[in-house]
Structure 1
Amino acid sequence: MTDDESEPRTDGSGTGIVPPDDETPTWRERKERTQGLSRLTYEYFERARREDQDLRQESDYVERDVLGFPAWPHETIRNLSIVSFFVGIIIFLAATLPPHLGGVADPSSTPSVIQPDWYLYWSFGLLKTNPLNPELAILGGQKLMSDSVFGVAVHGPIIGLIALVPFLNKGNARRPVEEPFWAALGVTGVLLSFTLTLLAQYNLFAGQMPLVTTGMFFDLSFILPVVGGLLTYAVLKAMQEGYMYNLNRRYYRLRPPR
């Protein structure tokens, strides 16, 4: 074995361990012999693996410490490689499977079924919440606002709640079982968006469910998310005691208090 074969390689042609920082080539030296994004990506992963190995060997803890890497060049190279991969897939699909262009739209006729994009179905379902629009006796049984205006106004509290969640939940929980309430609230929101999506599409499959009336389907659209949230909270609350006991026992076994 020659001296060149026994030394670790950092140019991507060898399989040795990346040398420490004081022996690692500078960024300019690596750039001079770089041959594209693949070589640069290989060097990034090898460098990150070496730093991770050194930190674990120098650590006093039994379990692995949480590591963080700088944005340049570590995160930048990794994100660039991932983005390039998916952009390449999109370009490949666009070239091999071009979208079909339908007929020319006729502005003088209105389609029989008008639907928004799929990610706005939940918003379209809120426009059909006119049964919740209250009638005030002080106005002679008339509604305070029209059904269309009420459907738009309902968006305010829901979007406002979504915007306030990051400010209200300031805990450091990393798993749903550690915060059952917020986990249940998230499940409720996901189920509500799903049921509102079905409510927006109800007129398309109403004939296939003769036993389910419009009022019953409307009530289920708001009852099922609440039931799902309550069940989630109950299950996570029942699991929390055993989970925290095992977590604390493992924590103090690996990291005894000083």
Structure 2
Amino acid sequence: MSQEDNPNEGKEIAADGTGIVAPDDETPTWSERKQRTEGLPRLTYEYFERARREDQDLRIESDYVERDVLAFPAWPHEMVRNLALTSFFVGMMVFLAAALPPHIGAPANPSSTPAIILPDWYLYWSFGLLKLGPLNPELALLGGQQLMADRTYGVVANLVVVGFIAIVPFLNKGSARRPVEQPFWAAVGVGGVVYAVTISALSVKNLLPMDSNLLLDLTFLLPFVAGFISYAVFKSMREGYMFELNRRYYRLRPPK
């Protein structure tokens, strides 16, 4: 590409955004904005530079200590909406409780043990981790014996999973608010959700009409498949999303 084809080649980007971001008294057309850009990085720079400059103008012009807060007042806008939603859901719960009362079964027999003992449904994933005994390795150094008991192995698996969930916020310190902005971490989240579902299914394998070995394989295979597919989809959507985000910014917040 020659110098005439790309007039922005070799120009230095000013720190205050001049030369790329249009002046305050000018509303650039689409063709003019296209001439000022060099792909997605330059367009993204324009977006954040414009936001930074407008935020700085608000701070300078404001009499408030920090900045003007531009939002809807809590009363009546937010309160009326929240009260309406709360009344709707409370009314639905009262209606269901009156129309469909829960059936209370016979008292439990303390002298007999149920055939299948399960925790509450939201703890199925933890209960499934306790059933990872087939993955407990037998070490040759110990004469073919296991390093730890299956129950201890399940407890350690719970600690590993909970520990990984706890350190994810420290590993991902980005400012993205949508999955398409960070495809990798979005794929990690999708894989984690799928793993929670599959490990929960493993915990109730006695109730599923499926081979236990196949279910164990799918428990660890499906999360990776879902993660790879999610990453590919979000990655392909990212450039188009950023392009539309910047174009929408120019439409909704034109220069002053």
Q: TM-score, normalised by structure 2?
A: 0.64
Runs of at least 5 residues in structure 1 that lack an aligned partner in the other structure: 1-58, 60-65
Name the counterpart of 1:107.
Answer: 110
Asked if residue 87 in structure 1 is aligned to residue 87 in structure 2, the reply is: no
Asked if residue 117 in structure 1 is aligned to residue 120 in structure 2, the reply is: yes
Partner Cα distance (1:79, 1:253) in 2 = 31
Name the counterpart of 1:242.
Answer: 240
What is the CA-CA distance between 1:133 and the residue it aligns to? 1.5
Name the counterpart of 1:40.
Answer: none
Judged with a 3 Å threshold, the aligned counterparts in structure 2 of structure 1 residues 67 and 187 are, in CA distance, closer, same or farther, namely farther
| One-letter amino acid of the counterpart of residue 107, structure 1 | P
Match of 2:142 among 139, 143, 150: 139
What is the CA-CA distance between 1:71 and the residue it aligns to? 5.4
Asked if residue 214 in structure 1 is aligned to residue 212 in structure 2, the reply is: yes
Name the counterpart of 2:224.
Answer: 226
What is the CA-CA distance between 1:146 and the residue it aligns to? 1.0
Name the counterpart of 1:167.
Answer: 170
| One-letter amino acid of the counterpart of residue 133, structure 1 | N
Asked if residue 204 in structure 1 is aligned to residue 207 in structure 2, the reply is: yes
Runs of at least 5 residues in structure 2 that lack an aligned partner in the other structure: 1-57, 59-68
Partner Cα distance (2:180, 2:115) in 1 = 47
Partner Cα distance (2:74, 2:198) in 1 = 41
Judged with a 3 Å threshold, the aligned counterparts in structure 2 of structure 1 residues 218 and 97 are, in CA distance, closer, same or farther, namely same
Map of 1:19-168 to 2, 5 A cutoff?
68-69=71-72, 75=78, 78-168=81-171
| One-letter amino acid of the counterpart of residue 248, structure 1 | N
Which runs of structure 1 show a deviation greater than 6 angstroms over 4 or more consecutive aligned residues? Answer: none
Judged with a 3 Å threshold, the aligned counterparts in structure 2 of structure 1 residues 159 and 139 are, in CA distance, closer, same or farther, namely same
For the residue of structure 1 that corresponds to 2:109, the secondary structure is coil
Partner Cα distance (2:203, 2:71) in 1 = 45
Judged with a 3 Å threshold, the aligned counterparts in structure 2 of structure 1 residues 105 and 153 are, in CA distance, closer, same or farther, namely same
Name the counterpart of 1:18.
Answer: none
Partner Cα distance (1:256, 1:74) in 2 = 27
Deviations 1:23-80, CA, capped at 9 Å, x for gaps: xxxxxxxxxxxxxxxxxxxxxxxxxxxxxxxxxxxx9xxxxxx953465776455434
Partner Cα distance (2:236, 2:99) in 1 = 52
Name the counterpart of 2:197.
Answer: 194
Judged with a 3 Å threshold, the aligned counterparts in structure 2 of structure 1 residues 160 and 234 are, in CA distance, closer, same or farther, namely same
| Alignment size in residue pairs | 189
| One-letter amino acid of the counterpart of residue 206, structure 2 | N
| One-letter amino acid of the counterpart of residue 226, structure 2 | G
For the residue of structure 2 that corresponds to 1:154, the secondary structure is helix
The percent identity for this pair of structures is 63
Partner Cα distance (2:87, 2:80) in 1 = 10
Judged with a 3 Å threshold, the aligned counterparts in structure 2 of structure 1 residues 227 and 67 are, in CA distance, closer, same or farther, namely farther
Moved more, 218-227 or 241-250: 241-250
Deviations 1:177-223, CA, capped at 9 Å, x for gaps: 111011101110111111112212222233xx4xxx42222011101
Deviations 1:103-126, CA, capped at 9 Å, x for gaps: 111111111122222222222211
Higher relative contact order (CA 8 A, sep 6+): 2
